[in-house]
Amino acid sequence: MPIVTLPKIKHVRAFTVRGGGADYHDQGEGHWIDDHIATPMSRYPEYRQSRQSFGINVLGTLVVEIEAEDGTIGFAVTTGGEPAAFIVEKHLARFLEGRSPTDYEKIWDQMYFSTQYYGRKGLVVNAISGVDLALWDLLGKLRQEPVYHLLGGAVRDELQFYATGARPDVAKELGFIGGKMPLHHGPAEGIEGLKKNIAELADMRAKCGPDFWLMWDCWMALDVDYATRLAIAAHEHGLKWIEEAISPDDYWGYQQLKRNVPKGMLVTTGEHEATRWGFRMLLEMDCCDIIQPDVGWCGGVTELLKISALADAHGKMVVPHGSSVYSYHFVITRHNSPFAEFLMMHPGPTEVVPMFHPQLIGEPVPENGRLKASALDAPGFGVELNRDIAMHRPYTH
Ligand SMILES: C[C@H](O)[C@H](O)[C@@H](O)[C@@H](O)C(=O)O
Ligand SMILES: [Mg+2]
């Protein structure tokens, strides 16, 4: 029986898309995800009401396509926009074209170390992640298997989700296991702002009852002192975890915050961390209880496999930042990823809608806060690119 030889990679293309999408993409007026959310820029009153005012969506969406010699196309959606498209076309493509899609380890190594002198985290690793996700999508399509089969198969029959959004009370009615709220007031709003935060949490606790998970996403907005005072005040309302409270670069601050928070409250972070080396720092310095890499930003599936194994060895959970199918296919295969995040992209949010709309066709969404593994049973990541959206290819090679 001859071994299967997959067709080689022929073309790598990078496109930008504006409008819609998930976190950090373009959202319309009045969307919960851009309504007075505390950020590191909240210290400037002019940038306090809207994250778009300081440019959270300035990069926009990146779509990476990888076409094999037989015409099969793998693709992926992440953020990074035009600068990431430049990096994909002008730098990364050379490590894929003419290669086998099965060489994803060597390809990742060459993408990372060829850009290390200007990359390592952020935009460059977003671009690498987009290429890596498209490569796994292509592998699955060529092998006619869902990505989760290529990662070792499901360790449970279904995914369960917590919901991120401003309405945990609605999330509870929709069957989610918990609700993560955006924090609205940062240190610049003083004790009055802290009291408003606590009042919002108390209100949601009253609406959701005593056992429903309630969490805060603090989006890098706080300092150790404020986060400590907030956690202590939130404890009586059963805050389950305080997420990304301080700067991702302040590993020492996270180490201190984890010591400061009340017993039983979890400290989580990682969505703006990248690569096995960044997460090794978080793990070995005991910065948090749960790491939350975004598979579209941390280095892709190839790197998340390494990050997850490291976390497992440290006895830590890996609950990836909301990235739709790109994280679902991973979470279903890992024991130390017992649940997933669903980002409520409905403006209210009062309804479950696909996260990457309108970019993806066939994107599965949780029903009653759950998704059966069988819902992922389609080649690759199981979604198709909506080719009716306006895609722009700013660079070629
Ligand atoms: C405002 C939101 O809470 C964040 O952008 C959130 O969507 C992200 O940090 C997350 O954890 O989902
Ligand atoms: Mg977050």
Mean pLDDT of 255-267: 98
Question: SS3 of 84, please?
Answer: helix
CA-to-CA dists, residue 269 to 253, 322, 381, angstroms: 12, 13, 25
- pLDDT at position 19, please? 83
CA–CA separation, 367 and 364 (whole Å): 9
Could you tell me the distance, in angstroms and rounded to a whole number, from the CA of residue 19 to the centre of ligand 1?
Answer: 18
Residue 217 is labelled as binding a ligand: yes
Q: Which residue's CA is the nearest one to ligand 1's atom 5?
A: 23
- pLDDT higher than threshold 90 for residue 20: no
Distance CA 361, CA 51 (A): 28
Q: Which helix (H) or strand (E) holds 317?
A: strand 317-318
Q: Is the peptide bond before 248 cis (omega within 30 degrees of 0)?
A: no
- The answer to whether 51 is a known ligand-binding residue is yes
Average pLDDT, the chain: 97
Average pLDDT over residues 127-151: 98
Please check the confidence at residue 23 and state whether its pLDDT lies above 80.
no
Q: Report residue 170 as tokens.
A: 């609605």
Write out the E strands in 48-149.
61-68, 73-79
Question: Tokens 């009055």 correspond to what residue?
Answer: 192
pLDDT value, residue 25: 67
The Cα-based distances of 25 to 28, 351, 357, 358 in angstroms read: 10, 19, 11, 12
CA distance 397 to 395: 7
Nearest ligand to the C-alpha of residue 37?
A: 1
Question: E strands within 58-204?
Answer: 61-68, 73-79, 158-164, 178-182
What is the mean predicted confidence (pLDDT) over 273-289? 98
User: Does 271 belong to an annotated binding site?
Assistant: yes
Find out whether 216 and 201 touch, Cβ atoms under 8 Å.
yes
CB 140 within 8 A of CB 379: yes
Q: Which amino acid is at 87?
A: I
Model confidence over 51-83: pLDDT tens digits? 999 999 999 999 999 999 999 999 999 999 999
Helix (H) or strand (E) holding 291: strand 290-291
| Angstrom distance (rounded) from CA 372 to CA 244 | 29
Closest atom, ligand 1, to C-alpha of 37: 1
Ligand 1 centre and the CA of 219: distance in Å?
A: 7
Check residue 367 and report its DSSP letter: B
- Determine if ligand 1 sits within 6 Å of the CB of residue 24: no
Q: Looking at the CA of 23, which ligand is closest? A: 1
Amino acid at 116: Q
What is residue 26's predicted lDDT score, i.e. its pLDDT? 73
Per-residue pLDDT tens digits for 77-123: 999 999 999 999 999 999 999 999 999 999 999 999 999 999 999 99
Pair 318, 311: CB distance under 8 Å = yes
Say if ligand 1 is within 6 A of residue 343 CB. yes
Residues marked active site are found at: 321
Checking if the pLDDT of 343 tops 90, the result is yes
Ligand 1 atom nearest to CA at 24: 5
**232 pLDDT more than 90:** yes
Percent of the chain scoring above 90 in pLDDT:
97
Centre of ligand 1 to C-alpha 394, Å, is: 29
Q: Write the pLDDT tens digit of every residue in 288-306.
A: 999 999 999 999 999 999 9
Q: pLDDT band at 21, cuts 50/70/90?
A: confident
Amino acid, res. 388? D
N-term to C-term CA, the chain: 39
Hey, how many other C-beta atoms are within 10 angstroms of the C-beta on 18?
15
Sequence-distant (6+) residues with CB within 8 A of 321 are 23, 270, 271, 292, 293, 294, 297, 327, 341
Q: Is the CB of 294 under 6 A from ligand 1?
A: no
- Among 343, 345, 346, 355, which is best to mutate for testing ligand 1, by the most ligand atoms less than 8 A from CB? 343
- pLDDT category at 316 given cuts 50, 70, 90 is very high
Q: How many CA atoms lie within 13 A of 133 on its CB side?
A: 34
Q: Which tens digit of pLDDT belongs to each residue from 142-182?
A: 999 999 999 999 999 999 999 999 999 999 999 999 999 99
89 is in an annotated binding site: no
